[in-house]
Structure 1
């Protein structure tokens, strides 16, 4: 039996807020899918924390290079869901 697990924008917003906080000037509830993480106020250290939280909460291991290349929430969500799909088929 397969459990439908997916990583959503809401999951990402929760992890960003919990792990790295939110810049007061950034509205994470707005349309952020294609905004760069740097434009949203998340620098490399905050993104490392984000990666660690995703890995722990969803039980996957993200490739560091692929994670670094995921510069927008949309790209990161797609990357995580790819890993989740691969983990389900194992």
Structure 2
């Protein structure tokens, strides 16, 4: 089975749906290495985001994903690792 890739566009869509966009934050800029907190997404918003990712992609994310993923790039990597592991199982 081929794993579906979780992209930056997917993440931005889910972040907007889960928690909106803070005024003055441009998610269309270079945000891969910007801390999620600096983008206006704190732990509660990230928990909601993780829940939506789990439901949409039919995966289970470890609770540490929310605490370990400090940037969009880190979150993308963690989600894509889980997608690959799930597809390989």
Please report the TM-score for the alignment, with normalisation by the length of structure 2: 0.95
Residues 16/43 of structure 1: CA separation in 2 closer, same or farther (3 Å cut): same
Deviations 1:27-65 (A, max 9, x none): 000000000011001111111100100000001111111
- Structure 2: gaps (5+ residues): none
Offset of 1:24 from its aligned partner? 1.6
Whether the 8 Å CA contact 2:31–2:72 is kept in 1: the answer is yes
Cα RMSD between the aligned structures? 0.9
Shift of 1:3: 3.1
Gaps of 5+ in 1: none
Number of matched pairs:
89
Moved >6 Å (runs of 4+):
none
Match of 1:13 in 2: 12
Contact map agreement 2:59 2:82 (CA 8 A) in 1: yes
